[in-house]
Structure formats: structure tokens, C-alpha cells
Chains A and B, each alone.
Chain A
Amino acid sequence: MRFVAAKACAGSRARAGALYIGGNSAAPIETPSLLISTLKGLPAFISRDHLGDLPAPDSHLLHVSPIHFLDCPATKTICTIGGLHQMVGLHDHFFIASPRDSLESLPESDGTNKLGASFETPSGRQLVKPSAYMEMITSLMPNLWASMADEVPAWVSDKRNKTSVDRTLRWLDECINLDLVYENALTCTVEGGKNVLGFVVGGSSIEERKRCATEVAARNVSGFWIGGFGLGESIEERPALLHAVTDSLPEEKLRLVSGLSLPEEVLQGVAVGVDFFDSTYIYHLTLRGFALIFPHNIVDEDIVDRPLDDYPNDCTKINLRATIFRKDTSSIVANCTCFTCQNHTRAYINHLLNVHEMLAHILLEIHNTHHYLGFFRTIRETIKNGKFDLFHKKFIQSRRIHLASVVQYS
């Protein structure tokens, strides 16, 4: 595994990069890139055959949470099956593991103590110790994995925040040690300690963020998982916190952030030099019946002069449950090449949602994933063309115009 980063242009922190997966794999995964969320290693609704229809290699990058496997299968069974890739039938894919996901295993900071991190899972609250976590990591063999962390919401006391940083650092060291121990104990061919992402926390304190980042950077890690976001901090205070972290991290190693889901939040992350995004945006949109429609190519358009009528409703997404789509025989997005848009209409998906059929979510997740991957592709193109800051500005502007139009007509 090899990561190569390059700065966009002078004055901009946004950077394009490439992750070489290694082996006889073809093209590298270019960054900034999206991690597709999974439940037990597979997307919530897209089965492996339809996952193969999505653009490659972008769609080969997946997030996995070992917490999903706490109940079963047993680590011994996972080992015998041959690890995660074999178990879920996705041999060519690249999995990045972390102990947290925002779909099911939400971190529960009240329950976390010095022994382990607490998570609210569908089968109740679970306390996970670093040893148990590393056992799972060793059996799953993801391509990269983040160390365990004590993630706290933005409103905790300074003392609690400081404790979370101390704990996270201690667990990082423990995880690295355990990785080497387990590697020697089992015969799995894992390069011990070489595919760990150091977890960075620090809550809403710039100081703690800097301290954590600096300390983690001092360890021998392959990259950084920047967490503790999306837990109650305001969107305004975030850039400063992100800056504090990325400023303290070495340029040549990859940075991943979790908890920045919305397009605007992703752009914030890109602007400070983040390479990978663990986002649950698609999952939540899909469950609620929304389909992404925002246009990608807004750089060359003059957004500001467009009349307000051009943005009838929310120009980011449409709610396909709405009755206006009952007879709409157009595809979700004209000229979209995803399976859903090539085969089905808004009217059909509207019907499926109304009768609570699973196919609705399958079709929506396919389209939304395809569309969001397209958004990331656009980001990469604008970075390469030196137009990222302009794109960022125009995107935010187009969202504000929508909000303004809502205000005007209400």
C-alpha cells in the first residue's frame, strides 16, 4: 500500500493524491475520495453484483466496522474463511476499518471507561477493549484500520475532553503492540503495524486537537483517522479545528476524516487537506427516500445570475415519496449512467416507496452512491485544474441562493 499526495496549487491546502493498493491491481484510487459505508462489510442494500456496476476504482473503497461482527461470526471462523474480503465476496476491494460507524454502532462516551470504548449497537450497549478489537482486526485483515478511540461530543467538560485524548493515545500504542503480537501468533500474512491509522480526537478544543495530532504523528503509523466530528460541534467552528489537526500532521501520510457527511462539510474537509471521507450521507438519504440531483459542473456556470425559478425545490435532492412524482416517467437525473437511472423512472420508485418495498432502497442507494462518487470526481478534477476554491465558493453560493429563495417565498 502506498499513498502519494500532491498539493493543488499555491495558497490552497486542498490536495489530490493517489492510493496504490498494491498487488496486480490496476488503477490507483484517486483522492479526495469517499468511503462507501457498509453493514457487516456489505453496503446496506447494494449486493456485490450491482456494486460492480458502479464506477471503478472509486466504488472499491469501503468502510467496515469490526463492531458489526461482535456477535458473529467468531474470529476463529472469520480466520478460517480467509478474512473479510473472502467472507463478503469482495476480493478486489479496499477496506478501511474503524471501531465506529454512524449507521448502527454509535460511540457512547458515557459508557466508555479506561478499559474500553462503549458503543450502542442493535444488540445493546457493548464495551470493547483494545484486545478484543485487535483480535477482530487480525482475523478480518482489512487493508487499513484505525486504532481505538474515545470519541466525545462537543459539550463535554475540558477535563473529560483531555481524558479522551490521553486514552486515545494510550489505546493507539496498545493497538500497535497487539498488532505485532497477534501477527506473530497467527499465520495470517499481515504486515504488522504497517496499516494502522492513528486516531485523532480532541473535541472542540484547538489545543487538545493539536496535542493529539502531534502525539499521534510521532508514532509509526501509515496515516491518520481524524474523528470526533459530527458530534455536536457547530459547522462554523469546524474549519479551525480541522486546520489545527492537519497543520500538525505530516504532509506525506494520508488523512481520513469521519463525521463530515454533507457536501458542504466534505468541501470543508477537502479545503484543509483531507484525503478520505467516511460519510453516512448516502445511507440516511436513501432510508428517507431522497435522491441526489445536484449538478456537478457548476464551475463554468454563472450561478449568481441564474433566476431563482431555476431552483424549484431543494436543488440538492428530491424526496421521491412526494406525490408530484407519481406520474413522472423521467429518470432521477437525466443522462445519469447508473443502473437505476438507466432502468427505472421516478414514478416507479415513488410507487415502491409508498408500498414500502425494499427495491426502492436498493435503487436509491445505487443512484445516490453513483452520484456522490461523481461529486468527488468533480472535486478531484477542480483540484487538478486549480479551480477548487472557485468550485467551493460557487457550490456554497448555490446552496445559499436556494435558502434565500425559500425565505423569499415563505
Chain B
Amino acid sequence: MALKFEVLGKFNRARAAQLTLPHFICQTPLFMPVGTQGTIKGLTNIQLEEIGCQLILGNTYHLALRPGAELIDELGGLHKFMNWKRALLTDSGGFQMVSLLHLADITEQGVTFQSPVDGKPMLLTPEESIQIQNKIGADIIMALDDVVKTTITGPRIEEAMYRTLRWIDRCISEFIWNCARRIRSCFTRYMCQRFGGPRFTRKANLTSYWDSYAIGGLVGGEDKDSFWRVVAQCTASLPEDKPRYVMGVGYPLDIVVCSALGADMYDCVYPTRTARFGTALVPEGILKLKNRAMANDERPIDLTCSCMVCKNYTRAYLHGLVTKDAMGSQLLSYHNLSYMMRLSKNLHTSIVEGRFPEFVRGFLQTQFPRGDVPEWVCNAMEVAGVDISSCCTPLASWHD
């Protein structure tokens, strides 16, 4: 198994690890910016490297549409096409297909959908998903799963779970028989398996073949209480020695909680998307730079941040740029991603250095200075075995 996952430190369920991929050696917990169409919106590769980005996500669905998997393959794979020297991960394309397209129909064969280009019916099979991802050539690829929302109940969930397992077998075959021969000069590809739904069952076939696991199907509108419970259940059941990737997460608070519960990798469009709406991520939560109060605020976005934006620009100046000028989006995206990279690094380092609970307490105290930590966080931390009682004020005292 060429994907190496080495746990360097633990605190109860939380772990800090080194993930060795063909293009880069990553440290987890880590956050992956989403480079949907082969670029992180508004940032150059050099800037991404500068802020400490290790692994980027590319969307198979979007890239297969434009510029096309064949073209990417012809030009040497996505790394070469983008000139990104570090690691890449692609998803299977399934999620977008179901969430973005009308008339998506899921059968045993695969996902039938309407092509956005000419409206003709198209079929994405597990085999084809692997083939497309193989052409794109990321370090980590994903098996196609039968995507179900967590809010769905009934027999559909079980149907989806077993179909996913059958599809995964098909993905493996395709990978072994048809992709292995196409190993490129310096990397091979790895498979992930996706589990989702509130009724995870241990009947699932956890073979040792898998390099890593992804927990998906969340971020579809479920409440936070269900969310953390699903993550907790999955991390409890999945093997210790392989990375766990919670897809579509997310808010800094969610990442801290999931890391405490034993997850390792995250991706989300939130930091860059919210930047384009003028919202900055700060230790206290968020800062809305469009707010009139910012117009004459001479402080940087975050006094504790040492990114290029915070070292050079004031809130007052950025107030005039955000949502109006491209430069505003760029600068805010730069800061927000710096924040996420810093968060990842802090999570990793605090676990390795044996001060994870202190870090969590500091994080929560900064975000909830009045002690109003949400109940779901308290419950999750209890399960994770992290004592945050000092961060939570009893209800009586702040309800006066």
C-alpha cells in the first residue's frame, strides 16, 4: 500500500498524523481548499504554497465538462495542467450530478442525468467515474457512491448502502484491471470509500483494501446534533490506521469538533465563498467587512494573523474593496484560507505536543466569550473526552 498514514500523536479519539502522498507529504488534521474548476478562486499557486496549502480538491464533474477529461489526460494530468506541485484529490462526480442536475435518476447501472451541454441523457457508471478520475490523475480519487441525503428515511437508505458497496467493488475492479496499467511516472492512485446516512451499520464490508475512508452525505441540511453523532459513529467504527475524510466540512467550529472525534481531512467552499461576500474568518467567529462600522476601522482583519493581508491592509481599506472589486475577493480569500491553514496546523501541532484540550478550550473561549457554547458542541466534546467545562457558563449566570 503506497499511501502512508502514520499517526504521530493522539488525544483520546483525536489524532495528528503524517499522510504521505505521491506529490506531497501532508500533516493532518488538514483542510482542503476546493479548486472546483482547476483553480482556487483568485489565488495563484505560489500564494497557496505560501499560506501552507497541502492538498486541493478538484471537482470531477466540472473538470470532465470543461476542459474535459480527455484533454487533461492528453496534456499530462491535472497537476501538470494547473502546475500544482503538491497533492490533489478528486471526488467521484456523483454528488454534483445529483445536487446540480434535474432529472437525475439512479439505477443499478449508474447515475443517469441530463447533460448540461446539450440536454441529452448521459450515464455515469462507477467504472466511468474511475476512468475519468484516472485521466485527471489526482493523488487520491473517490469511488462513486449512491448519494443519499441524511434527512431521508426508510428503505432507500439501506438500498443506497448496499448499492454503494456493489459499486465500490466495480470501482476496485476498474481500478485494478484498467487503471493500474496507466500508472504515470511518479504516482499511483488511492481509493476512498464513502459511508453516509444516520443508520450506519456494521454489516458494511470493511475490507483492508481501502486506503482511506470518506464520510459523506452530510451537509445536506441535517441538524448539528445528528451531524456530530454520525461523524462520531463513523470514526468509532472505521479502522484507526487509515485517514478519515469528512466531506463538505466546513465551519472552523465543525472542524475542531470533528477532529476531536477522530476525523483527519476536510474540504469546503465556505472560506472562499464567504470571502466573495465580504466576510472574513477570525478567531472570534466572522467579521463582516461590508458593515458600516468597518469603514473607518484602522485595525487589520485579525491582529493575531500574520498573513500578507493582515500585515498590510486595514479593515477600512478592505471595506471599500470587498464585493466591488476583484482585488477585494482575492485579498479576503487569501486571508480566509490562511486562517484555515493556520487552524489545521494548530490542530496538528497541539495534538503532537500534547496540548490539544488546551487548544480546544482556547478556541471555544475566543468564539464564545460569554460561555454560550452550543449544546451540540458540549455533547460532542463529552464523547470525545475533551473537558470544556471551563468554557461553558451555567445558564443561570448569563441569563440575568
Which residues in A have some Cβ–Cβ distance to B below 8 Å? Answer: 39-40, 42-45, 47-50, 69, 71-74, 76-77, 80-81, 87-89, 122, 326-327, 329, 339, 343-345, 347-348, 350-352, 354-355, 357-359, 361-363
Contact = CB atoms under 8 A, between A and B. Distances in A.
Interface in B370-394: none
A72 B319 contact: yes
Nearest to B331: A47
B85 to A, nearest CB: 10
A47 B50 CA distance: 14
A362 B37 contact: no
Contact of A326 (B67, B311, B319, B329): B67
B105 interface: no
B66 A42 contact: no
B45 to A, nearest CB: 7
Nearest to A91: B312
Contacts of B319: 72-73
Closest 9 pairs between A and B when the two form their complex, measured CB to CB: A89-B312, A73-B316, A77-B296, A359-B39, A351-B67, A358-B42, A355-B37, A72-B320, A72-B295
Main secondary structure of the interface of B (DSSP, over half): helix
A40 B325 contact: yes
B327 A42 contact: yes
B66 A351 contact: yes
B213 interface: no
Contacts of B326: 44-45, 358, 361
B298 interface: yes
B397 interface: no
B67 A73 contact: no
A40 B320 contact: yes
B193 interface: no
Given A81-B298, A351-B38, A39 B327 contact: yes
A360 to B, nearest CB: 8
Contacts of B136: none
Interface stretch (B75-83, B198-206, B337-345, B349-357): B75-83
B62 to A, nearest CB: 8
B44 interface: yes
A69 B320 CA distance: 8
A22 B15 CA distance: 56
Given A89-B312, A354-B67, A81 B317 contact: yes
Interface centre among B66, B75, B83 (most CB of A within 10 A): B75
Contacts of A40: 317, 320-321, 325, 327
B83 A47 contact: no
A361 B43 CA distance: 11
Contact of B314 (A71, A87, A339): A87
B313 interface: yes
Contacts of A363: 44
Contacts of B321: 40
Given A81-B317, A343-B83, A362-B42, A355 B325 contact: no
A358 B83 contact: no
Contacts of A355: 37-38, 62, 66
B39 A357 contact: yes
Contacts of B311: 89
Contact of B327 (A47, A69, A343): A47
B47 interface: yes
A52 to B, nearest CB: 11
A48 B43 contact: no
Contacts of B316: 72-73, 77, 81
B182 interface: no
A71 B317 CA distance: 11
Given A72-B295, A88-B312, 19 more contacts: A47-B308, A47-B330, A47-B334, A49-B308, A73-B295, A77-B295, A81-B298, A81-B316, A88-B317, A89-B313, A343-B46, A345-B81, A347-B67, A348-B38, A351-B37, A352-B37, A358-B41, A359-B40, A362-B44
Nearest to B296: A77
Contacts of B47: 47, 49
B66 A359 contact: no
B74 interface: yes
Contact of B43 (A71, A87, A348, A359): A359
B273 to A, nearest CB: 13
B327 to A, nearest CB: 5
B26 interface: no
Contacts of A362: 42, 44, 330
Contact of B324 (A47, A49, A122): A122
Contacts of B66: 351, 354-355
Contacts of B62: 355
B80 to A, nearest CB: 9
Contact of B317 (A76, A87, A343, A345): A87
A81 B318 CA distance: 13
Contacts of A73: 295-296, 316-317, 319-320
A78 B308 CA distance: 20
B71 interface: yes
B44 A339 contact: yes
Interface string B188-226: 000000000000000000000000000000000000000
A43 B325 CA distance: 10
A80 B39 contact: no
A90 to B, nearest CB: 9
Contact of A359 (B41, B74, B308, B312): B41
Contact of B295 (A74, A122, A354): A74
A77 B320 CA distance: 12
Nearest to A355: B37
Nearest to A362: B44
A45 B327 contact: yes
A357 B317 contact: no
A336 to B, nearest CB: 15
A47 B45 CA distance: 13
Nearest to B329: A358
A74 B46 CA distance: 34
19 contacts: A45-B327, A47-B327, A47-B330, A77-B298, A80-B298, A81-B314, A89-B311, A327-B75, A339-B44, A347-B75, A348-B81, A351-B38, A352-B38, A355-B37, A358-B326, A358-B329, A359-B39, A359-B44, A362-B44
